[in-house]
Chain A
């Protein structure tokens, strides 16, 4: 089951996010706690929470699982001025 979520993200959702200049990577799935790493344009997206909700919705619709997503942003050094 764990592989399914990972595969789904890599095969279905990731290419779509990539086509928007973004990047999502599966990190872990512990129970229903899904951790995703967001890079590229996603790392500085001001409305990433909407996309995260959409990912959760897609997983619910296509895999029948309710997951709680923790989104981790990884900004490249040249955008990381915090």
Chain B
């Protein structure tokens, strides 16, 4: 029997309503007059608000002209007179564009125009009819919000100028459009009941029937009709309680450079300020002290206005941090400085200590965060991604308590929906339906405002909010501020559930590895800053000047580059170039500081004896490591002392090498062990000399390189997906493992690989008097969509992977029994990971790697990726990578892996600082890591920050009374001379400076 599917080709009633709703927009502008006296000057931004002006100079700009060039800023000037016919009415400046514009008229900032808004009201800001127009216009081929369909088709480096106008509008048409925008959104949304939607379509059509779309008669009748028949109809009921908080997410760098974010931020702030003028109920939250700093520097007039709005409560600084950093890769001290410099800025400029961390877009959050927040006077944490981006499991809470690695607790909000919404009823209803803590958490948080590249709230969003109460099917809504929402719903809320663990994002797992050089430099500079600050602080303790401004400037530059689209590697190529230039500059500035303290002795800045193998740079040294000549030493320098470092005494005939049956495999015997080194550099057997132990699991290897096809799709730089293991790429050996260097201390075995495009050299470095094996990789990496990992399959029975977090360790399951475990196939660690069973284990200590893969019976360290979006050249070029494989007795704590890892990452410095012996002893005997020594921001204290890294209790005895400090350096209470320290606690104390 033939079957004919009925396909309706005629227009549905709903389409007829949609169509006429679209026509309504034609009626907004009542009268308009084109501004014809316009000129344009093309420029390119070369620094923060510094420009090079392009050839051609100022030229006339006419309707239909092409304007903007790639990476372009345009300065448009104009002159106009308000037509007499517009007198006594609201007059607007009107310009449709895909670019981002700050508009000044007669010297005053009147508003912003961008893909999300095309007019600004002039009357409140002008006092005469003659107008001199100045526009700073910045064009991006990728507009700041890709979720707004209307702008996607317009993007591109070259735009067609569609004219600039003065106009008046039909307020009643505009108002009716807002009514219809609200109601059409409900009518089209499956989040609302189908009976109501059917009712709406019917009544909306009847309302439109009253309008003559040529004369615009009947608009008021249509508004009255929907008021009576829709807004006053309460037959249909909604439920829910949603807090609406205005916000604009601003990536400081992403598809634009940080120099461009200055203008993006100014435009965003300006737009919000103008909305506040018109909508007194509007409150807006803005993060990142850095963005306030740039506004203050480059747009002081706007900043002054912002300060007034902060004082009135409409403009709310949130976030407490200097920028919105990545919260996986930066070490604890960096995160502390984010709060320190952020909070000090907010205190100084606005007299406020912000009590929330506002990190909507970050890619997961380290377990060390709650303690750092709590001690930075931050009780609340907001971050969206776990709820909306997890790829495997639904994060089970929205409003809850987050318990940190040390037991600290903060109130946390992971809002149910995206941090970018446009305040539509469907989005609010979706938020309420997705909210999982309806019974315990109070209101749910819905952020509204365009973002990524700023822009923020629009008039339409606020007009929607004014109408929500009129619509019976809507959840109850409240326009509020960020802090007010948190205080009202989370503070002292005894019903909240506790989440005790890291806030792992089940996505963006590639950001632990992408752009390896940024991670490596960040690690290096974190420790170099520690060293420079320590030397300066020790000198200041004895009365020397302390270069506070210079050190702060270096810190801030480092913190800036920890932004969550910079350090993670998810940005366009020029952002990488900027970051590397910044890193080089920080390095130079720190070298200049360190040079002032240079001495002939080596300073051990570790708070414990440095008796581990240490590479000492020396141009006459026999060994080349990471391209630097030097020698190996065991300096035996007590903690915080300076002294000499002599080359290790060598021994003869300590190494025997014999070929094995397998072609190319070598059996190597040292005074401590026997090693079977495969021709590819992997270790297939590693036996203690006395036969007590084999460190390699049967049928597994240690240090086995694997090259995988890495095709995560759209989020190329961000993601590593489980599919990377689907295809392993052949990694041909160009020259198999052979002895390439030997002296009385160390020996190096080298293997060379070559793909069609890349070369890869692995050096396996053995030591006469140590079980540790160092592996160095030198890569000329030219791959695309490849992931290089090195796998370790030690002969250890354990179901836990222990990972350093920089302020304590986290134990992660190696099992894959649950979807939660399965989703954590790639995790972030810091300096080391360890696999231990009772009595023994194997640790791998790195010097700038963060990604660790949890595989079937093995653990892998992610070495290099080669993604092409957003940066086609990501990770291309030369890389030096090194790590230490450490077999050990006992567990990681008993084996002192933390100390080894610090020693591996903190080089000796040529310096000879003097600190009081009693203090030196106290700091070293505490057993704590000396994380930071600095002079307090107010110059009154020497600040010592110590962290317990091993998960045990400690007692610190101080030689003199010290003051307890929070991480903002507020001294508190009476001085004390002893302190009990809890596992993973970070302690800050202040010693008054004379």
Contacts and interface: CB of A to CB of B under 8 A. Distances in A.
A41 B574 contact: no
B381 to A, nearest CB: 32
Interface stretch (B64-72, B166-174, B438-446): B64-72
Contact of A50 (B156, B574, B713, B716): B156
Majority DSSP secondary structure for residues of A touching B: helix
A78 B574 contact: no
Band of interface residues on A? 20 to 34
A3 interface: no
Nearest to B156: A47
B156 A45 contact: yes
Nearest to A19: B71
Contacts of A39: 868, 872
Contacts of A15: 71, 574
B44 interface: yes
Interface string A13-49: 1011111111100000000000000011110011110
B77 interface: no
A50 B157 contact: yes
Contact of A20 (B55, B66, B142, B153): B142
Contacts of B71: 15-20
Given A40-B869, A45-B141, A61-B55, A20 B158 contact: no
Contact of B716 (A17, A20, A45, A76): A76
Given A41-B141, A51-B70, A77-B711, A19 B156 contact: no
B256 interface: yes
B69 A54 contact: yes
A34 to B, nearest CB: 17
Interface in B239-286: 255-257
B100 to A, nearest CB: 13
Nearest to B45: A19
Interface residues of B, number: 29
B872 A17 contact: no
A25 to B, nearest CB: 9
Nearest to B257: A19
Interface in B118-153: 140-142, 153
B872 A23 contact: yes
B714 interface: yes
Contacts of B66: 50, 54
Contacts of A23: 872
B218 interface: no
B138 to A, nearest CB: 11
Contact of A19 (B55, B153, B256): B256
A23 B714 CA distance: 17
B420 to A, nearest CB: 19
A9 B156 CA distance: 19
Contact of A78 (B44, B156, B716): B716
Given A78-B713, A78-B714, A19 B574 contact: yes
A51 B257 contact: no
Of listed B55, B572, B870, residue having the most chain A CB within 10 A: B572
B713 A18 contact: no
A19 B713 contact: no
B57 to A, nearest CB: 13
Contact of A21 (B55, B158, B868, B870): B870
- 7 tightest A-B contacts by CB? A50-B158, A19-B71, A47-B156, A16-B71, A20-B141, A16-B70, A21-B255
Interface of A: 13, 15-23, 39-42, 45-48, 50-51, 53-54, 61, 76-79
19 contacts: A15-B574, A16-B69, A16-B70, A16-B72, A19-B572, A19-B574, A20-B140, A20-B157, A39-B868, A41-B141, A41-B255, A45-B157, A47-B155, A47-B158, A50-B156, A51-B156, A54-B66, A54-B70, A78-B716
